[in-house]
Structure 1
Amino acid sequence: MAAIELEMPTSGPVEEWPAQLLDVGALTRDGWRPEPFGEFVVKVHSRCNLACDYCYMYEMADQSWRSQPAVMSDRVMEQVCFRIAEHAATHQLDVVSIVLHGGEPLLAGATAIRRFIRLAREVAAPTRVEFGVQTNGILLTREFLDLFGEYGVRIGVSLDGDEAGQNRHRRYANGRDSYDRVAAGLRLLTSDEYRPLFSGLLCTIDVDNDPLATYREMAGWGPPKVDFLLPHGTWETPPPRRTPDPSSTPYADWLIPIFDHWYSGARPAPRVRMFSAIIRLLLGRAAASEHVGLGPIRLLVVETDGTLQQVDTLKSAYAGGPDTGLTVAANALDDALLHPSIVARQIGVEALGPACRSCSLRDVCGGGDYPHRYRAGSGFRHPSVYCPDLMRLITHVKDRVRVDLVVARKETRS
């Protein structure tokens, strides 16, 4: 296994990569150009009606939510719509995607959400604006579902598995379980009337939950897509069970039984985004994913006060992790394209450190999820804290796919 650490600075001022060490000017002088943003995560509400104990928004290093407005004002919504339309026009984009997020976005209320959707589409025309919402499912009512049906808004729901798995972490602030309320929302969403709006389920992995029971619960709702997310952590604050021992792979051990069941199981089955992306990358195809691969990330986050941020999961790394210093009131979105941390996520292999560059799985793994690479004092040019898990999982998938490709070639020749 390749080494998974970089030499730490021993003296002098702390300079982290990319904030102080990536020379964006040199890149542009050499002909590199950023790709425009195509997806915007808009925080229409910065508070939540659950108190999940692993939440990167409220429980980890960055606590800026405490000073954020609870709800995005009409004025900021107007500025957001104008800036997205301006960006789309500048780059002649045919389509952009806006994901309503939080906190819990439905806390913003149906009236405000309707106003924002209508305004965004009116201002951006002729660019098409596709809308999605990521919700914990607690507030999924007919009022919201009728609204989302009217405007073609796709709905993703966060669910950590069966009742025991969901209630382990995803609870109300008073400790009350949430599964029953989420299941009620999902039953309504997956009814014949509203099922076309269902985009998928998102599950944060807890290795104490049974993996196949978790997958069966998720698949049982008939989602088009399932996302399994690794809990956020860094080299200083590693995720649960992720020790420095490179022979320990608790997250791969959890995911591999799900992969084998999914890969060999009956079809139709939901698309599992992590597995699908790995297979596509192993076959030399492009895969749009923040979590694996080296493709450029074209995502920008807008907070309730109109501040522009990098991917918001950087809140798990350190206080101010996702900050750009830019706002929709004062800056065009193009200004964010040249922020060092956003550039770092568009330059592929050039963003990787020596250990990742020399790894045989480099083009598939891509260094893993960007926040998971962080080490205080040197920054993000490290392998993922999940490096051993990613290597084991990708190797397992590679071996399974290779066997099937060999069989397919033999059958073609015979």
Structure 2
Amino acid sequence: MSRTKGIHILAKPVGPLCNLNCKYCFYTEKAAMYASKKNFRMSDDVMETYIHKYISAQPVPEVSFVWQGGEPTLLGLEFFQRVVELQQKYSSGKKIINSLQTNGTLLDDQWGRFLKTNDFFVGLSLDGPENIHNRYRLTCPGQPTFDKVMQGLALLQKYGIPVNVLSCVTKESAYKPLEIYQFFKEIGVGFIQFIPIVERRPDEVAKKLGLRLATPASLNLDEKTEVTAWSVEPEVYGDFLITIFDEWVKNDVGSIHVMNFEWALEAWLGLPATVCVFAEQCGESVILEHDGGIFSCDHYVYPEFYLGSILTSDPYTMVDSEKQCQFSKNKGAVPRYCQTCEVEFACHGECPKHRFAMTPDGKIGLNYLCAGYQKYFRHIHPYMKVMCQLIENNLPAAKIRDVIKGPLVVKRTK
């Protein structure tokens, strides 16, 4: 069967290693799964094999590489200089796009020049103003990181490097939506993504693996575990999004890109979701670990979801495997309560990792954030309908700022 659509591999070239010790991070603890490992640096052999196979396998003219961690800048500039060399070697006329996800604390002018020269996009982790950011994002010795991250942001802005800020929303920060949003506006951030932090205390599977957080819900649906103290509350998260949306839709549509709202607009326009958590199915975006291991998903790097090694298998063979196809189908296995929900078309049950709550009729498998998403999607519905009408009439969605005169009343339809 010939492929017409590409796959996506998110690479973790330094595995779970990081120079920070963010309390809510779900990934750094994965070091426990490599107990005998001392060196997490991706070898040149793994790097070259990955770049060659990934580019060669793609039936599309553009190939997107995403480098994440841990903290990938720990590898140093030389590593990424080698990456660019190999991409040029194997590009075969295809356009190569690179994105780097970083905490920003190790960036300097050398990094700035390299990222600019090689057209990297950068995702920067910044939770908000100093008092919010420093609550959980600390160095390994426990020192605050806000000033260092702000220096990193200033450097990226100095070199004109496209930046998307990733802001983690915790139990505490969810009560300060406007403080966070206004801060991002004041520092000149044009692209923002809000990520709800939802983690549970360790279940029995996690304890056996030496982990401090529970494994995904699909591995332990029958086991009751509590969410961590920093996990966002469902309805409060909904209110957080609503408060920022109301400010954004009146003043900032078209000038500030809040990815959460743009993902929602895709749903109202009837377009396929571009982010996995709101897609009908997932499974075409897999994870490459530092040693070449491929796993089903960023949130499913556990032995049960190991698909093979990039050194010995073809990317599409792993993505098309029976195990990964079943993983993809499981995304659509939502409770009946979800199937009859009026906003299911926008949510699709969100991430399966979070489906550990009970439906009103006592069935397990409801997304923990359901109440918040229902509240949020219902609130934005009339505005989304207006933006859809503008787009359908070849007008920019930003024209909604001119349209809004008072509360909008639009019949709810999908």
Q: TM-score, normalised by structure 2?
A: 0.78
Deviation at 1:155, TM superposition (A): 1.0
The answer as to 2:353 corresponding to 1:371 is yes
- Kindly state the Cα deviation for residue 145 of structure 1 after the two structures are TM-superposed: 1.4
TM-aligned CA deviation for residue 135 of structure 1 = 0.3
How many angstroms apart in 1 are the aligned matches of 2:229 and 2:242?
Answer: 18
RCO comparison, higher one (Cα < 8 Å, 6+): 1
CA–CA separation in structure 1 for the residues paired with 2:316 and 2:74: 30
1:38 and 2:7 aligned = yes
Contact persistence 2:130–2:146 (CA under 8 A): yes
Conservation of the 8 A alpha-carbon contact between 1:238 and 1:385: no
In structure 1, stretches of 5+ residues that fail to align are 1-30, 376-380
| Cα deviation, residue 310, structure 1 | 1.9
State the 1:289 CA deviation.
Answer: 1.2
Shift of 1:130: 0.7
Q: CA deviation at 1:400?
A: 3.7
Tell me which of 344, 361, 373 is aligned to 2:343. 361
Which residue is equivalent to 2:20?
Answer: 50
8 Å contact kept, 1:368–1:390 = no
Partner of 1:24: none
Deviations 1:347-382 (A, max 9, x none): 59844343322222111101112321258xxxxx93
Task: Give the deviation of 1:405 after TM superposition.
Answer: 7.4
Compared CA separation, residues 409 and 231, structure 1 to 2 (3 A) = closer
Measured after TM superposition, the shift of residue 401 of structure 1 is: 3.4
Partner of 1:172: 139
Alignment of 1:326-345 (within 5 A): 326-339=308-321, 342-344=324-326
The answer (yes or no) to whether the contact 1:190–1:221 under 8 Å persists in 2 is no
Alpha-carbon distance, 1:124 to partner: 3.2
Which residue in 2 is equivalent to 1:238? 227
Match of 1:13 in 2: none
> Which residue matches 1:383?
366
Counterparts of 1:6-405 in structure 2 under 5 Å? Answer: 36-46=5-15, 47-59=17-29, 63-64=32-33, 66=35, 69-88=39-58, 92-191=59-158, 194-195=159-160, 197-209=161-173, 210-233=176-199, 236-238=225-227, 240=229, 249-266=235-252, 269-294=255-280, 296=282, 298-315=284-301, 319-320=302-303, 323-339=305-321, 342-344=324-326, 346-347=328-329, 350-373=332-355, 382-402=365-385
Deviation by residue 1:9-37 (Cα, 9 ceiling, x = unmatched): xxxxxxxxxxxxxxxxxxxxxx9x98754
Cα-to-partner distance string for 1:103-162 (whole Å, 9 max, x where unaligned)? 100001101111012202321322222101000000111111111112111111000000
The aligned counterpart of 1:14 is none
Asked if 2 retains the 8 angstrom alpha-carbon contact of 1:232 and 1:371, the reply is: no
Deviation at 1:163, TM superposition (A): 0.3
- CA distance in 1 between counterparts of 2:345 and 2:253 reads 29
Q: CA deviation at 1:402?
A: 4.4
How many angstroms apart in 1 are the aligned matches of 2:75 and 2:319? 29
Identical columns (%): 23
3-state SS, counterpart of residue 112 of structure 2: helix
Q: 1:264 to 1:340 in 2, by over 3 A?
A: farther
1: distance between equivalents of 2:227 and 2:342?
25
Note the alpha carbon deviations across 1:30-76, whole angstroms, 9 max, x for none. x9x9875432211111210100000011248x842545542101111
Query: What are the ranges of 5 or more consecutive residues in structure 2 without an aligned counterpart?
Result: 201-216, 218-224, 358-363, 390-399, 406-414
What CA distance in whole angstroms lies between the structure 2 residues aligned with 1:205 and 1:243? Answer: 7
The one-letter amino acid paired with 1:229 is I
C-alpha RMSD of matched pairs (Å): 3.1
Tell me, in whole angstroms, the C-alpha distance in 2 between the residues paired with 1:35 and 1:207.
Answer: 42
Task: Evaluate the alpha carbon distance shift between residue 341 and residue 146 of structure 1 in structure 2; reply closer, same or farther with a 3 A threshold.
Answer: farther
* C-alpha distance in 1 between matches for 2:349 and 2:323: 15
Task: State the shift of 1:94 in Å.
Answer: 1.2
CA contact (8 A) 2:287 2:296 kept: yes
Question: SS of the residue aligned with 1:155?
Answer: strand
Shift of 1:331: 0.8
CA distance in 2, matches of 1:96, 1:157: 21
Q: Aligned to 2:164, what secondary structure does the other structure show?
A: strand
Describe the shift of the 1:355–1:122 C-alpha distance in structure 2 as closer, same or farther (beyond 3 A). Answer: farther
Secondary structure of the structure 1 residue equivalent to 2:28: coil
- Residue by residue over 1:331-355, the C-alpha shift from the partner in whole angstroms, topping out at 9 and shown as x without a partner, is 1111222345643565598443433
C-alpha change, 1:357 and 1:187, in structure 2 (3 Å) is: same
* Contact 2:10 2:287 (8 Å CA) reproduced: yes
Q: Which moved more, 1:299-308 or 1:353-362?
A: 353-362
Output the CA distance in 2 between the equivalents of 1:36 and 1:373. Answer: 29
* Distance in 2 of aligned mates of 1:227 and 1:280: 15
Once residues 300 and 269 of structure 1 are traced to their aligned partners in structure 2, the CA distance between those partners, rounded to angstroms, is 32
Shift of 1:298: 2.9
Q: CA deviation at 1:387?
A: 1.0
- Distance of 1:146 and 1:369 partners within structure 2: 37
Q: Distance in 2 between matches of 1:282 and 1:233?
A: 29
With 267-276 and 252-261 compared, the bigger mean Cα shift is at 267-276
Letter in 2 for 1:271: H
Q: 1:311 to 1:350 in 2, by over 3 A?
A: closer
